Structure 1
Amino acid sequence: MIDVLLQTLPFFAVIGLGFGAAARGFFPPEATAYLTRFVFYFALSAMLFRFSANLGLSEVVSWPFIWAYALGGGAVYLLATAVALFRRRGLEEAAVEAQCAVIGNTGFLGVPMLALLMGEAAIGPVMLVLAVDLFLFGSLIVILITGSRDGRISPAVLGTVGKGLITNPMIVSMALGFAWAASGWALPEPVSRFLDLLAGASTPGALFAIGASLAAKSAERIRTAVWLSFAKLILHPLAVGILAFLVFPVDMFSASVMVAAAGLPVAGNVYILAQHYGVAPQRVSSAILISTSASILTVSAILAWLSP
């Protein structure tokens, strides 16, 4: 556990550095927004394109993996929804809380950290986790909130979901990478070096941006945020782990990557959606702050448990 903690600590130290810089005003909110945009649209996209262009779609897609992750996440999603409805929070707030329980910071934290700690072989499973999060759970919150407000699921809602997917740079970069891999052509050396250079900025940039964004988060409705953090950091990896290790024929390494990815803290894009729809943004803010802080120990513990 201590050895793994020492391995993960530098990643969280960069997050802490970003938090400190933003908290002291040295790195203003405008700088955080532009750094996040750079990482999201350029550095991280370059990393995902490079990996997918060298892998190919057939090497990534595994239906047992998809079923294990989707059903495990779905079980936690339903539980979080049921708890919210039991507290009489309404469907919109339930959808936001359920999103907190299953959407981890896979893009900004999971891709760079797990690739370095578990090896480049982890990239395929991590990208599959990211794809399920974006296509399945990322669509659900839009459908549920918009459908709840309109009283029905209209074609316009599905159009909004589709537009959000095809304009997401992470999806676009992976799709273009797989398309390139399908062509059978090797990346030209100058292009490969360009992608390596740009992708190299994704890990420190993403971690620093996470920390800087946390400085603007507030801790309110602590009890609910603690419950959502527990669901994300403990119940989510537990649920997908049971299905991946015991039910579906997922190979041991891919199952380990899946569980590690499921144990990541609540993603920042959940806050963006909550703020966009005006549904419980403070609650999400608290869940992100608490889950990210606690994940220093929980992620290390999960990785230590998964280590051979």
Structure 2
Amino acid sequence: MLDIFFRTLPFFAIIGLGFGAGRSGFLQPAATAALTRFVFFFPLSAMIFRFAANLTFGEIFDPDLLWAYLIGTTAAYLMAVGVALWRRQSGPVTAVEAQCFAIGNTGFLGLPMMAVLFGEASVAPVMLILAIDLIVFSSLIVILINLGRGQGLRPGTLWLVVKGLLTNPMILSITAGLLWAALELPIPDPMNEFLAILAGAATPGALFAIGASLAIKSAERIEVAAWLSFGKLVIHPACVAACVLWLIPVAAYPAQIAIATAALPVAGNVYMLAQHYGVAPQRVSAAIFLSTLASIITLPAVIAWVSTF
């Protein structure tokens, strides 16, 4: 485990560097928002497109992995829903807390980290997991919040879901890359160099942006945030492990990637949704902070375990 810890430490060191820049005031909140937007729309999209363009749909689409990860994540999601309802939380708050259990920082942290630790072959299962997160659970929270507010499944709600998917650069990058690969188009050298240079900024930029954004988040209901962090870092990967190892067994390599990806800390886009709808944003920000901090220890432990498969 010590070897894995030292291999993951540089990732968290860059997050810490970003946190220091944000906390010290060197990077103002507006600059942090601009940096996050830049990374999200440009370097990360270039990285995803470049990876996807060298894959086929068959390499990404693994039905056993899809169902195993989806069922495992749904199990963790429903556990969060049950506990929130037992605590008599409102429908929108319940949806937000369940989202913290289910959605990890797959794009900004998981994709670059898994590629370094497990090799570029990990990109295919990570992209499948990313698609599940974006298409299923990121759509579900919008629907549940609107249902919880008594607005029902109006055309406006469904349009918000569809619009979110159609304008998400990660979905667009995966789709464009797969189409490029399906058409068997070669990537010209100048284009490949352009993508490589731009994608090179994705990993340090994304990690730095994570740290800087953590520095400006406020905390609320620490005990609830601790529960949500425990759910994301422990319960979610345990549920996914049960599914990929026993319920719907998948090959050892994608099982490793699925469990490790499930062990990632709470994603920043959960906070963006909570803030947009005005539903417990401080609670979510505290969960993101605590889960990211704790994952310095828990994530290497999970990766060390799955590496024994």
Instruction: For residue 306 of structure 1, report the CA deviation from its aligned partner.
Output: 1.2
Which structure 1 residue ranges, 5 or more long, are not aligned? none
Aligned to 2:102: 102
Aligned to 2:33: 33
Give the TM-score normalised by the residue count of structure 2: 0.98
Aligned to 2:304: 304
Secondary structure at 2:26 match in 1 = coil
Contact (CA 8 Å) 1:115, 1:123: kept in 2 or not?
Answer: yes
- Could you give the per-residue CA deviations for residues 39-63 of structure 1, whole angstroms, max 9, x where no partner exists? 1000000000000000021110011
Instruction: For residue 247 of structure 1, report the CA deviation from its aligned partner.
Output: 1.8
Aligned to 2:201: 201
Distance 1:251 1:166 in 2: 32
Write out aligned runs for 1:40-119 (5 A): 40-119=40-119
Deviates more, 1:154-163 or 1:233-242: 154-163
- Could you give the per-residue CA deviations for residues 216-259 of structure 1, whole angstroms, max 9, x where no partner exists? 11232111000000000000001011100112131110010000
Matched, 1:145 2:145: yes
Which structure 2 residue ranges, 5 or more long, are not aligned? none
Secondary structure at 2:54 match in 1 = helix
Contact (CA 8 Å) 2:90, 2:148: kept in 1 or not?
Answer: no
Give the TM-score normalised by the residue count of structure 1: 0.99
Aligned to 1:5: 5
What is the one-letter code of the residue matched to 1:272? M
Contact (CA 8 Å) 1:147, 1:154: kept in 2 or not?
Answer: no
Contact (CA 8 Å) 2:243, 2:249: kept in 1 or not?
Answer: no
Misfit runs of 4+, over 4 Å:
none
RMSD over aligned CA atoms reads 0.8
Contact (CA 8 Å) 2:101, 2:228: kept in 1 or not?
Answer: yes
Matched, 1:224 2:228: no
Distance 2:92 2:220 in 1: 19
Aligned to 2:191: 191
Aligned to 2:289: 289
What is the one-letter code of the residue matched to 1:237? P
Secondary structure at 1:150 match in 2 = coil
Secondary structure at 1:54 match in 2 = coil
What is the one-letter code of the residue matched to 1:104? G
What is the one-letter code of the residue matched to 2:179? A
Aligned to 1:173: 173
